[in-house]
Amino acid sequence: MKILVTGAAGFIGSHTSERLKKLGHEVIGIDNFSPYYDISLKNLNAKVLSGKNIKILNLDLRDTDLAENLPNDLDFIFHFAAHPGISSTSSFEDYFSNNILATQRLLEFAERLAKKPFFVNIATSSIYGLEATFPESVPPKPASWYGVTKLAAEQLVLAKSRENKLKGTSLRLFSVYGPRERPDKLYTRLIDCGLNNKAFPLFEGSEKHLRSFTYVQDIVDGIVSVIGKEEVCNGEVFNLGTETESTTAQGIATAEEILQKKIKTGINPPRDGDQSRTKANIDKARKLLSYNPQTTLKEGLIAQTEWFKENF
């Protein structure tokens, strides 16, 4: 099958592109190489994918004529591209244009194609709000610009399904970590601080936060399981993540155990909109997608630490 992956040079998008290629699909990647974080990491990811015959086009969904630049015979679109996280340096316009406007433009492109691709929207547990422990049937209560705009993007996709204009699904991911994790995320920062004797910027109170820390390959298992189950997934939302909860403090302790050294911490003010608890309820994904994440936090962090050492 011919598959388009947006945000293909990013963390989870690059891993998914690799897996799809390994499964025998033709993968076309696009990324706008946003300077939200150091683009050298995205360039590194793109180089890895290039070595596996996956080309990434430097395109911005917001200002590109997609019909002139992309194939018209796609079977699937996996839509990762977004303005991520909770950042004090990002404006509402950043989240709106990247998460809502870009998604709408991609949907318009897909809808105009004679052969309609199945649209897989990559969403987030932040849609649920300050606590994300619920099944997909619970009304969302996002508490950040990121969560609000990702919910809007999800609804744009589901609206197309409800109107029978496109078939698609939305996958809400929970606290993903592993090799290629963004430099602003928890474990890349922890490993960097531990190896380079820097103080880790801990947000006040966050050491007690509970998270479903989910290894990236376990997440990719769930993402690609949609293929072949289009009728089951159409119009549906699925949580993907581990059911195991760990506190941030436990995560720090696990990183220290692997690095065999104490990581210095500095306390920063708490972040508005930061979730206090995430625990993936994956009953639906287990039943309909046979989803079953297995990687322990320590196993995943060992792999991430080795990746960091090899590349940085």
CA-nearest of 214, 229, 213, 248 to 287 is 229
Say which residue, 88 or 141, is predicted with more confidence.
141
**Residue 215 annotated among the catalytic residues of the structure:** no
CATH number for the segment(s) 2-176+215-243? 3.40.50.720
Q: Give the whole-angstrom CA distance, residue 28 versus residue 16.
A: 12
What pLDDT does 99 receive?
98
% pLDDT > 90, the chain:
92
The one catalytic residue in 36, 95, 128, 146 is 146
For 65-123, write each residue's pLDDT tens digit: 999 999 999 999 999 999 998 887 899 999 999 999 999 999 999 999 999 999 999 99
Task: Give the global pTM.
Answer: 0.96
What pLDDT does 105 receive?
98
What pLDDT does 13 receive?
98
Architecture field, domain 186-210+244-279+294-311: Alpha-Beta Complex (3.90)
Show me where the domains of the chain are located: 2-176+215-243, 186-210+244-279+294-311
For 143-184, write each residue's pLDDT tens digit: 999 999 999 999 999 999 999 999 999 999 999 999 999 999
Q: What is the mean pLDDT of residues 195-208?
A: 92
